[in-house]
């Protein structure tokens, strides 16, 4: 934990929520206590650090596909009430200030601390139009990933889509599908973040090997040299990312390399999905 920031603690609860979610064998669409506990753990993680919201779209879509509408709504309600419980000391005495500061998306980050955008001038880094473009790219990329690479709507007939809308549990997901979807959803948010600070590395550090090594090219199934080359390329990306995050202060080179590595990982993520 860098300087006792809360990022690592938030990720701990997030991973616990994910581990519990994928371990649930009972897929009953009725009252499922394990599913509710998973949602509460996820809510706890959000209460510690709001970056966990990057997982939320795929997290609750997984609930929907695994348990159906009723259990997803119940689990979501428990998550909301748990947030109200966590914030109650502040909501009871200073609700406006608490909500205003908790959701202060206009907060300006300091250029001196940025890890990922040192290659651009400071005036552009602080420009709200630049922030809006990044947000737009984030939402567009996330939507495309979920719709066409995770759910794969293009491979389903209109009739199948309507059946899934009526009964979401018809959508079958393996544990790999769930983990890959969650990790890539989080990574997309990180790749288009308007600033990354050093403690933010913990947001995706543990997921990088999974994203990279889940990807397989056709030749790796039979060609030994392709297997070694693929492993070398993946490890090289990990080493470059590690170098970028351990360069202080960040430089033009480290930020550029990090952005290139993120771009390669995005391509790999979509390819793998």
Q: In the prediction, which pLDDT does 222 show?
A: 62
> Is the domain of 169 the same as that of 246?
yes
Per-residue confidence band for 80, with pLDDT thresholds at 50, 70 and 90: very high
Checking if the pLDDT of 246 tops 80, the result is yes
Domain hosting residue 141, numbered range: 112-273
> Is the domain of 21 the same as that of 139?
no
Percent of the chain past pLDDT 90, that is, above it, reads 73
**147 and 164 Cβ atoms separated by less than 8 Å:** no
Q: What is the mean pLDDT of residues 219-224?
A: 63
> Is the domain of 75 the same as that of 143?
no
> Whole-model pTM?
0.93
Q: In the prediction, which pLDDT does 82 show?
A: 96
Last residue of a domain, which of 62, 83, 107?
107
> Is the domain of 94 the same as that of 119?
no
What is the distance in angstroms between the CA of the first residue and the CA of the last residue of the chain?
32
Q: In the prediction, which pLDDT does 62 show?
A: 96
> Is the domain of 140 the same as that of 239?
yes
- Write out pLDDT tens, residues 131-160: 999 999 999 999 999 999 899 887 888 899
> Is the domain of 78 the same as that of 142?
no
Residue holding tokens 């984030």?
138
Checking if the pLDDT of 226 tops 80, the result is no
> Is the domain of 125 the same as that of 233?
yes
How many alpha carbons lie under 13 Å from residue 242 in its C-beta half-sphere? 9
> Is the domain of 23 the same as that of 145?
no
Per-residue confidence band for 187, with pLDDT thresholds at 50, 70 and 90: very high
> Is the domain of 90 the same as that of 116?
no
> Is the domain of 86 the same as that of 168?
no
Last residue of a domain, which of 61, 84, 107?
107
**45 and 14 Cβ atoms separated by less than 8 Å:** yes
Cα dihedral angle (246, 271, 10, 42), rounded to 10 degrees? 180
Last residue of a domain, which of 84, 107, 130?
107
> Is the domain of 149 the same as that of 250?
yes
Checking if the pLDDT of 1 tops 60, the result is no
> Is the domain of 71 the same as that of 124?
no
**77 and 204 Cβ atoms separated by less than 8 Å:** no
Number of domains in the chain: 2
């Amino acid at each position: 934990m860098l300087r006792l920031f809360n990022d690592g603690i938030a990720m701990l609860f997030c991973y616990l929520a994910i581990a519990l979610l994928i371990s649930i064998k009972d897929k009953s669409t009725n009252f499922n206590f394990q599913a509710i506990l998973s949602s509460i753990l996820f809510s706890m993680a959000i209460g510690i650090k709001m970056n966990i919201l990057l997982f939320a779209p795929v997290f609750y879509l997984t609930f929907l596909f695994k348990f159906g509408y009723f259990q997803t709504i119940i689990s979501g309600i428990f998550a909301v009430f748990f947030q109200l419980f966590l914030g109650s000391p502040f909501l009871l005495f200073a609700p406006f200030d608490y909500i205003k500061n908790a959701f202060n998306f206009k907060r300006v980050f300091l250029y001196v601390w940025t890890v990922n955008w040192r290659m651009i001038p400071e005036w552009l880094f602080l420009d709200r139009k630049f922030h809006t473009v990044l947000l737009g790219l984030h939402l567009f990329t996330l939507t495309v990933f979920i719709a066409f690479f995770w759910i794969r709507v293009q491979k389903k007939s209109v009739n199948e889509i309507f059946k899934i809308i009526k009964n979401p549990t018809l959508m079958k997901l393996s544990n790999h599908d769930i983990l890959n979807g969650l990790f890539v959803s989080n990574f997309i948010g990180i790749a288009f973040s308007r600033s990354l600070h050093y403690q933010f590395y913990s947001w995706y550090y543990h997921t990088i090997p999974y994203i990279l090594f889940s990807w397989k090219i056709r030749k790796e199934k039979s060609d030994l040299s392709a297997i070694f080359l693929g492993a070398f390329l993946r490890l090289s990306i990990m080493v470059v990312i590690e170098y970028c995050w351990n360069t202080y202060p960040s430089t033009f080179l480290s930020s550029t390399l990090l952005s290139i590595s993120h771009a390669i990982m995005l391509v790999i993520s979509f390819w793998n999905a």
